[in-house]
Amino acid sequence: MENILYEQQGFIGIITINRPKAMNALNSQTLQELDQTLDAIDVNSVRCVIVTGAGDKSFVAGADIAQMSTATRKEGEEYSAMGNAVFRKLEQLPVPTIAAINGFALGGGCEIAMSCDIRMCSDNAIFAQPEVGLGITPGFGGTQRLPRLINIGKAKEMIYTTNVIKAEEALKLGLVTYVYKPEELMPAAMKLAEKIAKMAPIAVRASKKAINEGLQVDIDKAVAIEVKAFATCIETEDQRGSMKAFVEKTKFEGFKNK
């Protein structure tokens, strides 16, 4: 692939948006390659995925403005639908995802970050939804995920005004959970991914599914989802083995994803 790099280190998959000369902007080709990359991830051998951008200036600087500038309404709708479909695929990936935000996260960059489970950034990161300043709305989920993640009034302010949010404010708002120096970001993301990878994969995936589905329904339906998730973990080799070791106070050799 030309615009997406993918590598696997142990149980960790790393997706890198690789258009540094274009600040890693998301054109149709990049979205298509990202879609193909997500389809190709072996979720039986990968236990956590990190998403980041090439270079040290930009995570993803948004959608490709040059591509959109002459689009017809039909082409615009198709482009937005494509981006939303790919980001939903990322959001629904069975394994946990971490956005390592190394610089600008504007428009589509903020939106792809919000599609990940956990967001951490470098202290030079900048977040914004600048679309209304270009005559459009956010098109890859910004109007829907941002108000779900931070204070709704602040989300509306960011979208209505295109105001820029720096790393420390993003941390205070809950848009990210950690801020690091640029050189510390990827090591910190790897450390967190490796910690997740050491946990029981079946239980982690069931937890992700229960959280995501439960947030979309009322509490009674949500706890029913949790009951089902809990039950899917019972009688697995990992559950039996780890609990046996706990009860017998013996060493557990590690989770096998079985």
Residue 111: active-site member = yes
Judged against a pLDDT cut of 90, whether residue 65 lies above it is answered with: no
Q: How confident is the model at residue 64 (pLDDT cuts 50, 70, 90)?
A: confident
| Per-domain residue ranges of the chain | 4-197, 201-248
Q: What is residue 194's predicted lDDT score, i.e. its pLDDT?
A: 98
248 catalytic? Reply is: no
For residues 206 and 41, give the distance between their C-alpha atoms in angstroms, rounded to a whole number: 18
The CATH T-level fold of domain 4-197 is 2-enoyl-CoA Hydratase; Chain A, domain 1 (3.90.226)
- Homologous superfamily of 201-248: Lyase 2-enoyl-coa Hydratase, Chain  A, domain 2 (1.10.12.10)
The pLDDT value recorded for residue 68 is 83
Using DSSP's 3-state secondary structure scheme, residue 134 falls into: helix
Residue 183 tokens read as: 């050189």
Query: Would you state the structure tokens that stand for residue 119, as one six-digit string?
Result: 């967001």
Q: Which of 148, 140, 99 is nearest to 122 (CA)?
A: 99
pLDDT bracket for residue 69 (50, 70, 90)? confident
- Confidence class of residue 183 from pLDDT cuts 50, 70 and 90? very high
Predicted TM-score of the model (pTM): 0.96
Question: What pLDDT is attached to residue 56?
Answer: 87
**What pLDDT, on a 0 to 100 scale, did the predictor assign at position 67?**
79
Catalytic residue, candidates 7, 33, 77, 131: 131
C-alpha atoms less than 13 angstroms from C-alpha of 104 in its C-beta half-sphere = 20
Instruction: Report how far residue 41's alpha carbon sits from residue 55's, in angstroms, rounded to the nearest whole number.
Output: 23
* Active-site option among 78, 91, 111, 194: 111
pLDDT in tens, 24-55: 999 999 999 999 999 999 999 999 999 999 99
Q: If you average pLDDT over every residue of the chain, what do you get? A: 96
- Tell me: the pLDDT tens digits for 198-246? 999 999 999 999 999 999 999 999 999 999 999 999 999 999 999 999 9
Query: How far apart are the C-alpha atoms of 50 and 102, rounded to whole Å?
Result: 12
Tokens standing for residue 160: 């209505």
